[in-house]
Chains A and B, each alone.
Chain A
Amino acid sequence: GAVVSQHPSWVICKSGTSVKIECRSLDFQATTMFWYRQFPKQSLMLMATSNEGSKATYEQGVEKDKFLINHASLTLSTLTVTSAHPEDSSFYICSARDLREIDEKLFFGSGTQLSVL
């Protein structure tokens, strides 16, 4: 199946700094990628849809200026958590569809554990 690579796997940063997370589709092109957030022992919450060459669409309640998304190419989307605070600590996961697949399933990156001190 298709492979989605996400980096870094974990990051620890000081409060007030910005953190960038990369999501790459390795063997397919992804015009759309999805960013989710997950708290411990909870489900995934969709944060935003990243669209190649255009603005991301954010879910209700997600701050656009806080979570900057850039989808500059067909294989790369980035999520930047700006001025991170302890409450931003969470597990962030990206995903994408491979349009060559018949099923509408998503391929997920391995996730990024963000800890803000």
Chain B
Amino acid sequence: SQQGEEDPQALSIQEGENATMNCSYKTSINNLQWYRQNSGRGLVHLILIRSNEREKHSGRLRVTLDTSKKSSSLLITASRAADTASYFCATDRGNTDKLIFGTGTRLQVFP
């Protein structure tokens, strides 16, 4: 079953604006990951944050993790039209290699 719930389901912004996506999960985790999917394609890993980390940066991406609230957020700063895609959070299931994906946020960035 899906572990993560994301909001918003869809987000439309203008180029240059920031985009924030939120993810909530149900059970304890070792790490949380964010992936990007262009329409009809496979997924690409963006960033991983471990359960003992609170914030992580990678280029224009900023991820936060609040294990007490079982939630994470992904911030994309200074968005570009090329950022248009679906974004998924994913959590590990216990001590396995399995990743369970959230419901996803469809981001549309208008030029």
Contact = CB atoms under 8 A, between A and B. Distances in A.
Contacts, number: 60
Given A43-B103, A91-B40, A107 B45 contact: yes
Interface residues of B, number: 23
Contacts of B88: 43-44
B50 to A, nearest CB: 9
Interface in B3-44: 30-31, 33, 35, 40-44
Contacts of B31: 104
Contacts of A91: 40
Given A41-B106, A105-B45, A106-B45, A34 B40 contact: no
Interface string A68-95: 0000000000000000000000010101
B102 to A, nearest CB: 6
B75 interface: no
Interface of B: 2, 30-31, 33, 35, 40-45, 48, 88, 92, 97-104, 106
